[in-house]
Amino acid sequence: MGDVALTVPVIRAATEANPQSKFTLVTRPFFAPFFEGIENLELVFPDLKGKNKGFWGLVKFYFELQTLQKWDVVLDLHDVLRTRVWRSLFRIAGKPIYVIDKGRKEKKDILLRKSEIPLKHVTERYLDVFRKAKIETEPLKIASIIPSSNIKERARRQLAELALKGSKTIGLAPFAMHAPKMWGLDNSRELMDLIQEKYNVTFFLFGGGKEEIEKLTQLEDKKKGRFCMAGKIPFQEEIAFISCLDLMIAMDSSNMHLAALSGTKTVSIWGGTDPVFGFSAFGQPKEYNIHIPKGKLKCRPCSVYGGKPCSQDEVLCMKYVTPSLVLNVLEEQEVLM
């Protein structure tokens, strides 16, 4: 989800710079709300679990694309097996193809401790594809996921109804796809306690999936101003709600990206992964990235996306990021004022 979300500022910049051109994006239906309001962008959804499943299903979808219009150029922003099949067919048909450079070797060098040079942000990698295709773009906008005005207004009203009087509104998303990127319930509860002892704050908890929702419900305490939003509102409304918050505190996760791309100030907590790979929250100061000091753990970072199981008995890189440390950073950066 994060990879798709981070295409939005670049696609929006390209479509706005070329209003006379038509852009078509192949993606999943769930991601459609990311691209709300981009006028000259058409979304196309392959049925990857049905008729477009497998190699011949991908070939079938390629021919379905041919019925839509005549294509001038094809950009592969993903470079995975499916997109390689499609772009190969387009190449056979004589279409110019431009492919993202994911920097796989550079990422591997960082993991092997052969390099410490921070890599370019993934949005820059997406931009490079458009540049190679000689497609002009406008300057990137941080707030690039823009909910419709009626959904945004509904989110504002709901936020006002729930928030404690005069309070700052903070989102908290303590989960991620992989264990080395999760901070956990105990840390989350302690952080909320520490903040609410000193500041007038209402917390809104975010996550996805049955298991995460059940855990987040344990943190909910409406009298204290702690509300679980996970599973309560449709995804499109959740994005609008996040865009209305004063601050989001999240792990290296899709909620981190959604908050930043919605224009919400975003502080992120990092465990086994690291912003050095180019996946930090878009447009946020590097001081908003919280992780243990460089060199404190030789095993960190252990992977690019967090999918590698931790080699320790416990995830020490997350254990060392204590709630009091997070509070200190929040106060140093004056995001609670």
The 3-state DSSP class for residue 215 equals helix
**In angstroms, rounded to a whole number, what is the distance separating the alpha carbons of residues 106 and 191?**
35
Tell me if 163 sits within 8 A of 202, measured CB to CB: yes
**In angstroms, rounded to a whole number, what is the distance separating the alpha carbons of residues 207 and 181?**
13
Q: CB neighbours of 216 closer than 8 A, spacing ≥ 6?
A: 174, 175, 205, 206, 207, 228, 230
For the full predicted model, state whether its pTM sits above 0.75: yes
Q: How far apart, in Å, do the first and last CA atoms of the chain sit?
A: 31
**In angstroms, rounded to a whole number, what is the distance separating the alpha carbons of residues 231 and 209?**
8
**In angstroms, rounded to a whole number, what is the distance separating the alpha carbons of residues 172 and 206?**
6
**In angstroms, rounded to a whole number, what is the distance separating the alpha carbons of residues 29 and 145?**
16
Which of 281, 334, 279, 283 lies closest to 301, judged by CA?
Answer: 279
Same fold, 2-132 and 149-332: yes
Tell me if 261 sits within 8 A of 9, measured CB to CB: yes
Burial class (CB in 10 A: 0-12, 13-18, 19+), 255: buried
> What is the predicted pLDDT for the residue at 313?
79
Domain ranges in the chain?
A: 2-132, 149-332
> What is the predicted pLDDT for the residue at 208?
87
Q: 149-332 domain in CATH 2.60.40.10?
A: no
> What is the predicted pLDDT for the residue at 148?
94
Q: Consecutive sets of 10 residues in the chain, 337 residues long: mean pLDDT of each?
A: 96 97 96 94 96 97 94 97 97 97 96 93 98 96 95 96 96 93 94 97 94 93 96 94 98 96 97 95 96 86 90 86 96 93
**In angstroms, rounded to a whole number, what is the distance separating the alpha carbons of residues 276 and 120?**
8
CATH architecture entry for 2-132: 3-Layer(aba) Sandwich (3.40)
The 3-state DSSP class for residue 148 equals coil
